[in-house]
Structure 1
């Protein structure tokens, strides 16, 4: 694994690269509050790819947005494209998990000339909500922003304690949580805390409607793969089938596991990805 620092308009973005630089380029985008280490288990089974996993802005070892900026979903898109530019990649494939899958799908829709293939793990577009819920969401976001200054960042005795807290809060396997914690924590007075920007906990001030999301998904031209976890977040969501129908060249593969199946049981996921990315 090689560590990279990439330039984007607002912050420097850290990344991990696995594989030969002459191999097929795949840019990997992690989920909310995760980091590039979430793709480390997969990388071991994907030796034929040049896999570059970003720490999204505000996550892992990447910089935090300047004061006054929010972490709105749409604002990740130019950062990801700038990172690809700094890598010198004009055309590449995208691999996204959860939040990263939403970002990847919107980039593929908006910039089809740059995306060769699109692979999504337990995520298919961003969260949406009815338009009438907009005022309540806006208030919730503004109130959370105002309370943020009075919140203290938790400090843990060691990396393992931080990982246990993530495990207990989310159900993520402890070994996977430790992998994220080793990259995602820093030493502070009294122990360790997560590097992630506390502003990531502020709810978004605005969501797209379901109709808007489907319209954007319908613009995806690249051959696409959706790996759905049988015990994940989307398996019982009624809107998922309609979203799948929007993407013309979409292959759906259901695999055993929870939302982080690519970390907790990576080999079956990697086998599907290896086949998908093995195009002429």
Structure 2
């Protein structure tokens, strides 16, 4: 699908279902990450998008095209082309930051918002500047050392330590998804829409009237704390913590994740 001049890959499962869930993956992810969820929710039309710099979506030349503002406009254009009036929006990690930014910009589109291990960004200019430096250093490392070296390092960061307990075939699928990316795409994503360059949305949480579900893994202490702070600011927020999992709940316990989402939708 051509979206604002960029060839964008979209997967749609359960096309005949009347209710729509739009799902946004995380950094190094793709639409493939939502396949199990779509199979588990046969009565829900699941629209999954390869975000800029990921999967089979084209890679822009200019880093500005990766920005949060651009991706919010892309998502609105997708909704227009698919004739989606209202829907539930689900975002995981990076996809959660984009989902929240979109929901703030287009609240009338949102029936419910589900944020899995996601934050509204960093509160202070100093925090954002420090994170920008870290993201730029990582982007340079990806370009200099290549994708395989990056994936080897990325799968060993503390955030994903809990994934080593997963069955071998699941770990191999996660690795394959990461290795399906490109150096240019990931570096552009970090530079254009990383947590450091994203405007903070903390002060906008209280203006959201629609229901917001915050999902975190109990072993992901940082994002559990973030979700608690977010819930305190939301008018209609719910925070569910899933036991014995870390950052990627939908990967580490897909059945429980699907059950929680299904119950929240109904």
Using the size of structure 1 for normalisation, the TM-score is 0.77
How far does the alpha carbon of each residue in 1:218-273 deviate from its partner, in whole angstroms, 9 at most, with x for none? 22222221111111253453x54332122211121111211111012111111111
For 1:143 and 1:101, the matched residues in 2 are separated by: 23
2:206 corresponds to 1:218: yes
2:256 corresponds to 1:265: no
User: Corresponding residue for 1:254?
Assistant: 241
2:8 corresponds to 1:19: no
User: Corresponding residue for 1:130?
Assistant: 124
**Cα–Cα, structure 1 residues 16 and 92, in superposed 2: closer, same or farther, change >3 Å?**
same
For 1:185 and 1:27, the matched residues in 2 are separated by: 24
**Cα–Cα, structure 1 residues 54 and 155, in superposed 2: closer, same or farther, change >3 Å?**
same
SS in 1 for 2:240: strand
Equivalent residue pairs, number: 257
For 2:176 and 2:128, the matched residues in 1 are separated by: 38
| Offset, 1:46 | 1.2
- Are 1:19 and 1:48, in contact at CA under 8 Å, matched by a contact in 2? yes
- Counterparts of 1:171-210 in structure 2, within 5 Å, are 171=161, 172=163, 173=166, 174-183=168-177, 185=179, 196-202=185-191, 206-209=197-200
**Cα–Cα, structure 1 residues 197 and 218, in superposed 2: closer, same or farther, change >3 Å?**
same
| Offset, 1:165 | 6.4
- Are 1:7 and 1:83, in contact at CA under 8 Å, matched by a contact in 2? no
2:215 corresponds to 1:232: no
Using the size of structure 2 for normalisation, the TM-score is 0.81
Structure 1 gap ranges (5+) = 1-5, 157-161, 187-191
For 1:131 and 1:166, the matched residues in 2 are separated by: 26
For 2:184 and 2:129, the matched residues in 1 are separated by: 31
SS in 1 for 2:222: coil
User: Corresponding residue for 2:34?
Assistant: 39
**Cα–Cα, structure 1 residues 274 and 153, in superposed 2: closer, same or farther, change >3 Å?**
same
